[in-house]
Amino acid sequence: MIQDFGWSSVQFLIMGLTWTVGLSAMTFVLGGFFGLFLAMGRALGPNWLKLVIAGYIQIVQATPLLIIVFLCFYGLSFLGLHFPPFAAAAISLAVYATAYLADIWRGCIEAIPKTQWEAADALALSRIQRLRYVILPQALRIALGPTVGFMVQIVKNTSVTALIGFVELTRAGQLLNNMTFQPFHVFLTVAAMYFALCYPLSWWSEKLKERKSGVSAH
Amino acid sequence: MASLRIEDLWKSYGAVQVLKGVSLSVGEGDVVAVIGRSGSGKSTMLRCINGLEQFQKGRIEVAGHMLDGSHSGLRELRKEVGMVFQSYNLFPHLNVAENIKLAPRVVKGVGKAECDEIVVQVLARVGLSDKAYAYPDELSGGQQQRVAIARSLAMQPKVMLFDEVTSALDPELTGEVLLTIAELAKAGMTMVLVTHEMGFARRVATHTVFMNEGKIWEEGPSEELFANPRTPELANFIAPDLK
């Protein structure tokens, strides 16, 4: 059944867009949660833990995201763990985001000078208090720009989950193209929607980075 | 009664022996200046006193707390031993008042109203009452260092350690920090200062200790030590300053 690209097509794409946004948000929340623990373990933990986390980060960063998605969807179902596409997509993207966010944040924690630890130490703050009141707030400030920048990567990379049949924006575009045979209309609209989502994030990320360098140049 | 007693302190970094049997006694209300060349071990000794450095052998007793090189009981000790650093080390994400309040609030659990009172008090002592809401990067180096002193004072320490606190400052800013320290000395604070300011050591410190090659080479009442150095090393060290 062939239909023309029209308002109903755009509505269909907007539905895909909301799934892209939802998956991105979920990825960011899960990746952020686990990434924070891994970042702290990588920066401050005992040596064996640092090694384990570094290994995880290396492996995930060296694997194409699509392979992680396939492993979660097809691989785990082979082991008897059947996930619906949305769950498999969320799990694999979380695995991916965890590794990258852990690496970004580790760098931010390590960027805080040792003298800040010492000053907090000399004031009798406990290890947890030093992290909570002195190190993490400063690391967070440095981390904001690159973290928002990475959110752009997350949004764009949710598109690979189209390949396991999860109907986010890209998959919605594919489906629509099959119905309308108007690829330029469809995919330019899809691209415009990604742009509308990513550009504000990029812009915000740059703003945050500028503010940071503005302060340090003071 | 001694506020600080160091007995036979030995410390090495790998194969490098930095402290070779340092013993020192500081009475309550004493102001002790520690002078000596770079690498003579004076900063290392100071950092051992509040446990920022661990040591291999010896004993340190400070403000009634015993240190044997391990980590136990360090927090209790640090509540009563303040330290001021060469590079100020203020927390850049907190304003002056928050820098000062942080430790009393989270370490000692002091209430909000009392914390605010402490801020007013200690800022008055370092002459920066109008800077409570400034951020560290809005202050000059000298002002930042005075805030660092105020932050340390907020814990009401029994002993204060100063690690070359004017070395990073331009000469015209050094004076205001030294003046602040001199005021504390007058008020009876027990202090150990590692310093390169010979004139200041002579005027303000009750005792001066000259360190050389990881040992206490010579010590005594400041005036006497500077006027009549007994060892050629000390005489050489202070000679250019007295010309």
State the residue range of the domain holding A108: 8-212
A218 assigned to some structural domain: no
Q: pLDDT (tens digit, 9 = 90+) per residue, B58-86? A: 999 998 888 876 666 788 899 999 999 99
Model ipTM value: 0.90
Higher pLDDT, A157 or A79: A157
CA-nearest of A202, A175, A196 to A186 is A175
Q: 3-state SS string over chain A?
A: CCCCCCHHHHHHHHHHHHHHHHHHHHHHHHHHHHHHHHHHHHHHCCHHHHHHHHHHHHHHHCCCHHHHHHHHHHHHHHCCCCCCHHHHHHHHHHHHHHHHHHHHHHHHHHCCCHHHHHHHHHCCCCHHHHHHHHHHHHHHHHHHHHHHHHHHHHHHHHHHHHHHCCCCHHHHHHHHHHHHCCHHHHHHHHHHHHHHHHHHHHHHHHHHHHHHHHHHCC
**Which residues of A lie closer than 8 Å to B, measured between beta carbons?**
115-116, 118-126, 129, 133-134, 137-138, 141, 215, 218
At residue A82, the pLDDT reads 86
A81 assigned to some structural domain: yes
Q: Provide the domain count of chain A.
A: 1
Q: What pTM does this model have? A: 0.85
Q: pLDDT (tens digit, 9 = 90+) per residue, A102-159? A: 999 999 999 999 999 999 999 999 999 999 999 999 999 999 999 999 999 999 999 9
At residue B241, the pLDDT reads 53
Share of chain B above pLDDT 70, in %: 96
Tokens encoding B110? 């002091």
A2 assigned to some structural domain: no
A118–B106 C-beta distance less than 8 A: no
B75: nearest CB among A126, A134, A137: A126
Are residues B46 and B192 in contact, defined by beta-carbon separation less than 8 angstroms?
yes
Are residues B126 and B142 in contact, defined by beta-carbon separation less than 8 angstroms?
no
Domain ranges within chain B, ordered by starting residue = 1-80+161-168+197-243, 81-156
A82: left (phi over 0), alpha (psi -120 to 50) or beta: beta
Place of tokens 């304003």: B95
Does the structure show a pLDDT above 90 at B93? yes
CATH number for the domain that contains residue A204:
1.10.3720.10
Q: At what angle do helices A7-44 and A85-110 cross, to 10 degrees?
A: 40
The domain over range B1-80+161-168+197-243 is classified in CATH as 3.30.479.10: no
B102: nearest CB among A115, A116, A133: A133
